[in-house]
Amino acid sequence: MQTLQKLSLPSMGCGTWAWGNQLLWGYDESMDDQLQAVFNLCVSNDVTLFDTGDSYGTGRLNGRSELLLGRFNREYLGSGKENICIATKLAAYPWRWTRQSMVKACKSSAQRLGRNVDLVQMHWSTANYAPWQEEGLLDGLADVYEQGLVKGVGLSNYGPKRLKQVQKKFAERGVSITTLQVQYSLLSTYPVTQLKLKDLCDELGIKLIAYSPLALGLLTGKYSEQGCLPKGIRGLLFRQILPGMRSLLACLQEVAQSRNKTMSQVAINWCICKGTIPIPGAKSVEQARQNIGALGWQLNASEIAELDGAAANADKKMVQNIFQTK
């Protein structure tokens, strides 16, 4: 078995497509140059962890996220290129159930990226609906590490019970779990406050990655109950949640004003202060600048306590990922 040095992750990530559907929200090929500028700005400001997935993009956009990220990586010529860390997630599709299918999927991702994946993650656990499927997928995930195809492996949407089981399974093969990715924000504290995943990750030496740290934009201050909301299911969700998070938004705004920061920057910084690696999405240079403004400073203990209290008292929380296990 080939032994590889455990992957060392950057301190903060800025996933250009941190959410599975974001690539599809209003995307067209004319945005490619703008997204390249986003990538360039992030890397030049030492934000070098980019998270994607092989399921990001369907139909004519199949694999588009990985293809674009690979192109952006090749065409970037500025400083920090050697520090770029590309993470992808392999979907637990119903037709993907053997260990060989995972190895093949990882190789396909690498082909689309034009380089080896640094960190490969299981996108979700099948334990909630098809537990028989998962063993082969996990064996394949360990295989890609043993074969030297990746520098590290991780999981996504796993709870403490399943995480312990997988950690034991991998340890028997000498494979370490580098990261665990969960939905985590001021509006989604469940993985940490109730599942106690941060404590377990610290115990096992696993870095916790926080996806959707801005709660699909609800924590940016951009949306209000009386304002214009997104169309479709996202808009319906916002209408349900916004009335119950007034006190949280007020607290977030107060802290942001006292710090001369934006609400987005405070929300992202809160995730960092909690010891996680947030991966906010950015489809424009301005959004990327906003995210980068969350770096280089820290909320104090009093501010964190105020935000914690406001988050705990919010009447409505973000809907949890249906694949999140316990």
Residues annotated catalytic, as ranges? 56
Contact 36, 284 (CB under 8 A): no
User: Which parts of 114-231 fold into alpha helices (H)?
Assistant: 131-146, 160-171, 190-193, 197-204
Pairs from 242-248 (Cβ < 8 Å, separation ≥ 24): 242/218, 242/316, 243/315, 243/316, 244/314, 244/315, 244/316, 245/187, 245/218, 245/314, 245/315, 245/316, 247/310, 247/313, 247/314, 248/186, 248/187, 248/310, 248/311, 248/313, 248/314
- CA gap 284, 301 in Å, rounded: 32
What tokens were used for 264? 């987005």
Separation in Å, CA 287 to CA 31, 42, 244, 262: 14, 11, 26, 11
Closest CA to 288 of 45, 30, 23: 45
Q: How far apart are the first and last CA of the chain?
A: 32
Torsion of CA 272, 9, 53, 5, to 10 degrees: -150
- CA gap 99, 146 in Å, rounded: 13
